[in-house]
């Protein structure tokens, strides 16, 4: 059978764009449909604009610190509109690069919503229909807001980047990394931040000591964090939004942001009708090669709900091209993925948490907690935390956890060692780089009790 395209990609995020571009570079005839903006969650409404906002929010603390080093800082002010304008220009630039990367490799771009009619047929919102030998679904995810009374008054992380003004008082609901990152961002930009999380501690899934350390520092920085607390109702009134919570308290804020998880973008796409099996949360079920239950349909990225990270989606997209177009079956390795969380303080982590490692191994834990050199003259009490989780019998480092400045930069390189199976003695043999915070990773001699 003759098809219109060898590959039709649905979704213009990191995974879909990379797969489409690389397949086209190899000689495949490729089309890609994206209903919103090229770049997906990461570039348009996620990692990139969020990191820019993290940078912006850090300057308030940096200016305070500067005085401890002899600098006199004059009158300060922050212009939200100026930040947003600069940020929007950068996102436009990046979107342009994504488009150029596709069109420059002869990928046909359709700015439209695409749904499956069957395993080889895609219908666009323009009314056009195309056939393809292979279809790759890479539609990502979207924020989930629970059915709370007054939910029409809340915003999500998608909406933050379109705010006209900086809220003076904001409530953030959630305890995951997105909620905690934005709590730090708004706090650093000068807003009064309240955070509600219904669980016993923020950042579920991370190392327990890391979670407690970050929570304590967030509170120290001025975030009004309430654990074991959830919203019952949100009412609009003249002086803002009245938030009633489960402990009986009432709080008035200018904005309420929900960061209570994300769900896969699969609704109304005709997937199940085309023979693609979905999980209970709507995620596309795939095997280790990203193949779905429909022979001609594959899927990568957040829509599969495996590991929701941009570099993972990119790797999955590359593995898909190797498997389908290069006759080289390749499975993405989802083990020991290093990641950073841009809370304030920042987290870098790779491998097992202490809790999970104790379940599976006989371990030793090495820990260092200290005030970084910069904080001493700055007069700040904030401390860094570093942990190595080591298996006693093999001496392999099973996990590395860092909290503090540049944790994300450090964990990228520590991740190489952990991924390679480095032992504690490999770390010990490495000469320290002095004076740095990172040297603590190779100078921890005795395990904690």
Catalytic machinery residues: 434
Distance between CA atoms of residues 146 and 95, nearest Å: 31
DSSP run (H or E) holding 244: strand 240-245
Cβ atoms within 10 Å, residue 300:
32
Cα torsion at 194, 200, 204, 206 (round to 10°)? Answer: 100
* Contacts (Cβ under 8 Å, ≥6 apart) of 249: none
Q: Are the C-beta atoms of residues 435 and 373 closer than 8 Å to each other?
A: yes
* DSSP assignment of 347-404: EEEEE--HHHHHHHS-EEEEEEEE--HHHHHHT----EEEEEEEETTT-BEEEEEEES
Q: What is the DSSP letter of 207?
A: -
Q: Are the C-beta atoms of residues 350 and 343 closer than 8 Å to each other?
A: no
Distance between CA atoms of residues 299 and 311, nearest Å: 15
Tokens describing residue 268: 């109304």
Residue 77 vs residues 71, 74, 190, 416: alpha-carbon distances, Å: 17, 10, 10, 41
Q: How many residues can be counted in the chain? A: 449
Q: Are the C-beta atoms of residues 59 and 65 closer than 8 Å to each other?
A: no
Distance between CA atoms of residues 218 and 109, nearest Å: 44
In 189-342, which ranges are continuous DSSP H helix? 208-220, 310-324
């Amino acid at each position: 059978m003759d098809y219109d395209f060898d590959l039709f990609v649905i979704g213009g995020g990191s995974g879909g764009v990379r797969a489409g571009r690389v397949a086209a570079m190899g000689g495949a005839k490729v089309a890609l449909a994206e209903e919103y903006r090229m770049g997906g969650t990461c570039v348009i409404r996620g990692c990139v604009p969020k990191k820019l906002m993290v940078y912006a929010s850090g300057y308030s603390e940096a200016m305070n610190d500067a005085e401890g080093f002899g600098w006199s800082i004059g009158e300060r002010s922050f212009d939200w509109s100026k930040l947003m304008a600069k940020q929007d220009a950068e996102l436009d630039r990046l979107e342009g690069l994504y488009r150029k990367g596709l069109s420059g490799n002869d990928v046909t771009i359709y700015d439209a919503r695409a749904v499956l009619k069957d395993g080889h047929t895609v219908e666009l919102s323009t009314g056009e229909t195309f056939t393809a030998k292979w279809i790759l679904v890479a539609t990502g995810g979207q924020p989930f807001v629970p059915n709370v009374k007054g939910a029409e008054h809340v915003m999500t992380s998608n909406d933050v980047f379109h705010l006209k003004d900086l809220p003076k008082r904001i409530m953030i609901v959630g305890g995951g990394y997105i909620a905690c990152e934005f709590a730090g961002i708004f706090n650093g930009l000068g807003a009064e931040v309240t955070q509600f999380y219904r669980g016993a501690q923020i950042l579920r899934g991370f190392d327990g000591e890391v979670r407690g350390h970050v929570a304590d520092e967030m509170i120290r920085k001025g975030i009004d964090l309430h654990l074991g607390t959830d919203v019952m109702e949100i009412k609009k009134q003249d002086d803002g939004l009245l938030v009633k919570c489960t402990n009986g308290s009432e709080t008035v804020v200018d904005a309420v942001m929900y960061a209570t998880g994300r769900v896969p973008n699969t609704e109304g796409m005709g997937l199940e009708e085309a023979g693609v099996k979905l999980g209970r949360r709507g995620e596309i079920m795939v095997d280790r090669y990203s193949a779905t239950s429909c022979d001609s349909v594959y899927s990568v990225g957040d829509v599969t709900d495996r590991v929701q990270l941009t570099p993972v989606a990119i790797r999955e997209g590359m593995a898909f091209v190797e498997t389908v177009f290069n006759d080289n079956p390749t499975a993405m390795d989802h083990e020991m993925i290093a990641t950073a969380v841009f809370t304030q303080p920042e987290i870098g982590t790779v491998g097992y948490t202490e809790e999970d490692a104790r379940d599976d191994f006989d371990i030793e834990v090495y820990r260092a907690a200290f005030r970084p050199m910069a904080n001493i003259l700055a007069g700040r009490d904030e401390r860094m935390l570093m942990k190595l989780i080591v298996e006693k019998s093999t001496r392999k480092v099973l996990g590395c956890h860092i909290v503090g400045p540049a944790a994300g930069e450090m964990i990228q390189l520590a991740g190489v060692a952990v991924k390679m199976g480095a032992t504690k003695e490999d770390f010990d043999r490495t000469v320290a780089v002095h004076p740095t915070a990172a040297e603590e990773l190779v100078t921890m001699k005795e395990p904690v009790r």
